[in-house]
Structure 1
Amino acid sequence: MRIASWNTRGLGNKSRGRMVGSFVSSFQIQFLAIQETMVKIVSQPILNEIWKQFAFEAIQVESDGRSGGLIAAVLRYIPSDNVVLIVNVYAPHLESSKRMVWEQLKYIACNWSGPICFLSDFNSVCNPAERFRESIYMSCIETFNKFIINSNLIDQCLSNEEFTWEGPLGKMSRIDIVLLNSGWIDLWPGSILVAGKPDRSDHKPLVWGKN
């Protein structure tokens, strides 16, 4: 199983679709979570640029104007006898709103008995070293870590990069995260998390799976 998450910062034209398609082809992705499509609905011709030669299914969450927008896409032919839960997350920026999301995700994690994967742009970090040239709020970090622990999830460390987002004035952070439970890790032992090239986004895509 090879899954990926990417805040593409827009997916409103075929050029962006080809950008994602090149990434998917290079890493042989089987499940893809996209954040910030920035369009109400991504059209089928654009989606077809992602997996041109394979049949796939995709579900979308509409953007709110130019903010947000989610896609979860999976190849149809993946053989498996396992029932797993994958949640594509695009967390808000406000701390009060984040707390509500953490409670909702914790409820899901604590009431699902099988393998779990929460992935994508959490807009949060697990420790101060994961923000560079940015404001650090320890209360936000503590709340996020408490959610991870109470949900019985494990933060997956990047094997090849320190940060996943790069902003103006040299700002950097690791806000794109993959959280797994022990059931997921046991199902695919020996897998690692790597970051790809950001291309035209300011976020690096994440790929979890075996080399």
Structure 2
Amino acid sequence: MNFLSLNIRSISDKAKARWVNKLKQDHHLNFLCLLETHKQEASSLNPHSFWGNYNFSHDFIPSSGSEERSGGILSIWDPSFFTLTNTLKSNHFLLTSGLINGISEQCNILNLYAPQELQAKQNLWDEITTLIANTQGLWIILGDFNSVRCPDERMHSMFNDSCALSFNSFIHQNGLMEYTMNGNLFTYVADNGKKKSKIDRVLVSSSFMNNWPRASLTALPRSLSDHRPLILNTSHLDFGPSPFRIFTSWFNRPGFNDVVCDSLNSGFYNGRPDKSSQQSSES
């Protein structure tokens, strides 16, 4: 399964549909998470324009407010890769739960657009925490969190300690993890490139990362939105020849696993603890 997360800032422009459709084709995407559709009626969504002439399923949360200028969440997926079993809708997220081909455990895909207000964000973190505690399976949460984790994730805009503390507590409390993001440090750019922040991201449960430890997360160049598209590719990637020699017969030798684990555990990692296991898995 390959995922796209994008705050598209309205889907009224047909050029945006062509942009997303090209991303889908170029990156072999199976699940699209689009935010801020600014559409209140299902009849005005036209998900076919994003997906192309292929079979798909979709669900959405309408926008709110006057003139359709607030929110709107749309998820589109390939039913041959993901079999839907349940959906749950909130003011700020769309949860689709089901089975990914080849994975026996349920996967919960949460397409999220967080509010701006600090208390409203805390209420959202509490709501999702309760949901995770009461729902079994793998978790992947994609979207615009309207929060950063540290001062380095903002440039020329105010860093809110309370907001970051609340967000980090939510991540650690639920055992969520992040893949290293390639492509760019920031996902949102405003004021002609002056203000930058990393408010869009992908969080996953440890069980999700254990299934796809070598997945790659990339922030692509901006085009028709002030947010960068995020691509999570869980497919096995070919990085060329192995940098060291190893023989299959070694796997059956007594003590082989101990040697590998000791080598990984003896390394030094300086960074957030929720990323340390990923570094080990990619070593």
Question: Under TM normalisation by the shorter chain, which class is it?
Answer: over 0.9
Cα distance, 1:81 vs structure 2:
4.2
* 1:66 aligned partner, one-letter code: R
Q: Is residue 186 from structure 1 mapped to residue 218 from structure 2 by the alignment?
A: no
CA distance in 1, matches of 2:29, 2:201: 17
Aligned counterparts, 1:40-79, within 5 A: 40-41=40-41, 43=43, 46-64=46-64, 65-78=68-81, 79=101
The letter of the residue matching 2:77 is V
Question: Which residue identity lines up with residue 188 of structure 2 in the other structure?
Answer: W
Contact 2:140/2:203 (<8 A) preserved = yes
Q: Say which is worse superposed, 134-143 or 77-86, in terms of deviation.
A: 77-86
Which amino acid in 1 is paired with 2:129?
A: K
Paired with 1:45 and 1:70, the residues of 2 have a C-alpha distance of 10
Of residues 88, 112, 130, the one that matches 1:107 is: 130
1:126 equivalent in alignment to 2:129: no
CA contact (8 A) 1:11 1:42 kept: no
The residue aligned with 1:27 is 27
CA distance in 2, matches of 1:61, 1:25: 25
Contact kept in structure 2, 1:12 and 1:42, CA below 8 Å: no
Which residue of 1 is the match for residue 169 of structure 2? 146
Confirm or deny that 1:171 pairs with 2:227. Answer: no
Flag structure 1 segments of 5+ consecutive residues without an equivalent: none
Structure 1 residues 206 and 110 mapped into 2: Cα distance closer, same or farther (>3 Å)? same
Q: Say if 2:47 and 2:76, in contact at 8 Å, map to a contact too.
A: no
Q: Give 3-state SS (helix, strand or coil) of 2:16's partner.
A: helix
Q: RMSD in angstroms over aligned alpha carbons?
A: 1.5
Paired position in structure 2 for 1:37:
37
The letter of the residue matching 1:88 is N
Scaled by the length of structure 1, the TM-score of the pair is 0.94
Higher relative contact order (CA 8 A, sep 6+): 1
Residue 17 of structure 1 contacts residue 46 of structure 1 at CA under 8 Å; is this kept in 2? no
Unaligned runs of 5+ in 2: 82-100, 238-283
Equivalent residue of 2:59, what SS?
Answer: strand
| Partners of 1:35 and 1:68 within 8 A in 2 | yes
Would the alpha carbon gap of residues 6 and 30 (structure 1) be closer, same or farther in structure 2, given more than 3 Å must change? same
Moved more, 17-26 or 129-138: 17-26
Query: 1:44-85 CA deviation, whole Å, 9 max, x = no partner?
Result: 773111121310001010001211000011102113443200
In structure 2, the partner of 1:199 is 223
* Alpha-carbon spacing, 1:44–1:37, altered in 2? closer, same or farther (3 Å): closer
Per the normalisation by structure 2, the TM-score is 0.71
C-alpha separation in 2, matches of 1:86 and 1:182: 14
Aligned AA (2:141): F
Q: Distance in 2 between matches of 1:194 and 1:168?
A: 23
The percent identity for this pair of structures is 29
Change beyond 3 A, Cα 1:156–1:41:
farther
How far apart in 1 are the matches of 2:17 and 2:220? 16
Amino acid at match of 1:132: M
**How far apart are residue 41 of structure 1 and its match?**
2.9
Rate the CA distance shift 1:156–1:42 in 2: closer, same or farther, 3 A: farther
Q: How far apart in 2 are the matches of 1:87 and 1:156?
A: 17
Match of 1:5 in 2: 5
Residue identity in the other structure for 2:207: G
Q: Which moved more, 1:35-44 or 1:50-59?
A: 35-44
Whole-angstrom distance in 1 between the partners of 2:120 and 2:147: 12
